[in-house]
Amino acid sequence: MPKVPDEMKDDFRRLSEASMLTVGQVLPAVREFFYQSGMVNDKIMKAYFFEKEVDKIAYSLKRKLFKDVKVLKFSEKIHLRYFALHIQQISDIGKKIGDILAILALKRNL
């Protein structure tokens, strides 16, 4: 179990919520692809926006973790950094799915 300091819990929560928003925009885009392919790009653009937000939050979280948090050992900070990385990868996978959907939607319209 990771030992997350109280001052970092909100940052991890924001990172998780933003990452899930990315995936939350990709899933309706997949449904739209099979019914109305015109709306796919709008939902994919929202997913790209949330993925950029996840990257910003993760960057600031990692900087704060190593710069401001003094109660943790270095090994615990590395451990928390990997947790942030894995949460960040959820949004990266959502972005990759969005890329594939955008290509398929473009091919379908040609």
CATH of the domain at 98: 1.20.58.220
Give me the domain span that covers residue 101. 6-109
Whole-prediction pTM value? 0.87
Contact indicator for 66, 80 with CB cutoff of 8 Å: no
Residue 1 lies in a domain: no
Q: Which carries the bigger pLDDT value, residue 58 or residue 109? A: 58
pLDDT in tens, 47-105: 999 999 999 999 999 999 999 988 899 999 999 999 999 999 999 999 999 999 999 98
Alpha carbon of residue 61 to chain centroid: 13
The answer to whether the CB of 22 falls within 8 A of the CB of 51 is yes
Question: Which token pair is 49?
Answer: 């926006």
